[in-house]
Amino acid sequence: MEEAIYKKLAEHLDQLPGGFSSCDTVIDLRLLQRLFSTEEAELAVYLTLDRENAQMIAERAKLPLDETEQRLNQMSKKGLIFSVQQENSATFYQAVPFVIGIYEFQVNNLSKELIRDLAYYWRARSKTTTTEIIPQIRTIPIGESIDPHLEVLSYEQVNELVKSKDRFAVAPCICRRTAKMTGGGCDAPEESCLVLGEWADYYIRDGRGRSINQSEVYEILARANTANLVLQPSNSMDPSFICCCCGCCCGILEGLKNHPNPSEIVSSSFIAKFESELCTGCWICLERCQMQALTEEIGRVALNTNRCIGCGLCVSTCPSGALSLVRKPGSDQTKIPATMDGTWRIISQAQTKIP
């Protein structure tokens, strides 16, 4: 009976963006058992990508309202669902994908056992691949790499994204925290995941992150630039978060790096342009690039545009101006939905599985 409950939950999560692929082993169910109690698993399948109050969910689940509300609040606190508290104290609840969602929300719940089960699950699920019509995350250039004459939309500029928000939080990077807990990691700042608007409220309310002001956001972005971190907001014009990612710990960047042509699958509006006659061979860009798009040649570097994701890290520190960013042709750009909820809906409706 208990196994059937978790199988139903696994099937439910598999219908959400990013999926939750079954495995030949039982590691997928064991992972869910570690995260969800039986009662939480039973209730979770009644949540959708629509934001609903406890009454609506209770009626669908055929449970008493008080019990439903108690479970939902506990699940929200555990990072198993998303919740929004409105000014009139009304709370609405929403299902979230396993990634991006439940996994990232466990940043303060990590244990060696959970990390072990996650590692087993990532390896086991690699036998099945989920293809999304659009990514859940995109890459934008660091502000210092944008030429004043370059055509840039407001949602492609990190400073404009920050200006459009009035509530901010910062949380530890779960990728770097996991790497350090398993004996790896890097020297990049761990507290570097920026959370915005409603997501900031959620992180602050349940202690996943701390509240910060706009000035602190800019300070964190400056440190991210110094640490060679790629800026990756949610794939929406009105982003819910901005991740500051390194190529050694970040699962998203690792996936891009392992692809033969990262520029083909990344959601990015820009790509680097290289003028070889201006290159002085200082090699700064080689360390900055997280995609190995730049390589050393005799006296100068070479750019492989098939590997460029348009982050601009190489551009901002090129002393000779040999590197710059240019806009990709429209046909090479990924659609950017208005909101993260919109992104999830598009993926959920079009999600397909490759055997």
Contact between 173 and 193 (Cβ < 8 Å): yes
Integer Cα distance of 269 and 264 in angstroms: 11
Asked whether the CA dihedral 277, 283, 286, 288 is positive or negative, the reply is negative
What per-residue string of b and e applies to 231-250 under the rule 16 or more CB within 10 Å gives b?
bbbbbbbbbbbbbbbbbbbb
64 burial (CB, 10 Å; 0-12 / 13-18 / 19+) is exposed
Q: What is the pLDDT of residues 21-63, one digit of tens each?
A: 888 778 999 999 999 999 999 999 999 999 999 999 999 999 9
Contact between 234 and 142 (Cβ < 8 Å): no
Integer Cα distance of 107 and 187 in angstroms: 18
Q: Regarding the domain delimited by 263-329, which CATH topology (the fold level of the hierarchy) does it fall under? A: Alpha-Beta Plaits (3.30.70)
What element of type H or E holds 116?
Answer: helix 112-125
State both tokens at 122: 């990532």
Integer Cα distance of 193 and 262 in angstroms: 23
Q: Regarding the domain delimited by 2-131, which CATH topology (the fold level of the hierarchy) does it fall under? A: Arc Repressor Mutant, subunit A (1.10.10)
Integer Cα distance of 21 and 330 in angstroms: 33
CA distances to 260, 270, 298 from 305, rounded to whole Å, are 11, 11, 19
For the beta sheet containing 241-245, the strands, ordered from the edge strand earlier in sequence to the opposite edge, are 210-212, 168-172, 191-196, 241-245, 230-233
Domain borders along the chain are 2-131, 143-258+332-345, 263-329
Structure confidence at residue 132 (pLDDT): 59
pLDDT by 10s per residue, the chain, length 355: 688 999 999 999 999 998 998 887 789 999 999 999 999 999 999 999 999 999 999 999 999 999 999 999 999 999 999 999 987 779 999 999 999 999 999 999 999 999 999 999 998 875 544 455 789 999 999 988 888 888 899 999 999 999 999 999 999 999 999 999 999 989 999 999 999 999 999 999 999 999 999 999 999 999 999 999 999 999 999 999 999 999 999 999 999 999 999 999 999 999 999 999 999 999 999 999 999 999 998 888 999 999 999 999 999 999 999 999 999 998 888 889 999 999 999 998 876 444 4
**Bond from prior residue into 298 cis (ω within 30 degrees of 0):** no
DSSP-derived pairing of the beta strands 352-354 and 129-131: antiparallel
CA 29 to chain centre: 24
State both tokens at 256: 């891009």
Integer Cα distance of 303 and 307 in angstroms: 9
Structure confidence at residue 131 (pLDDT): 52
In terms of phi and psi (left: phi > 0; alpha: psi -120 to 50; beta: otherwise), the region of 173 is beta
Integer Cα distance of 61 and 188 in angstroms: 45
Contact between 169 and 195 (Cβ < 8 Å): yes
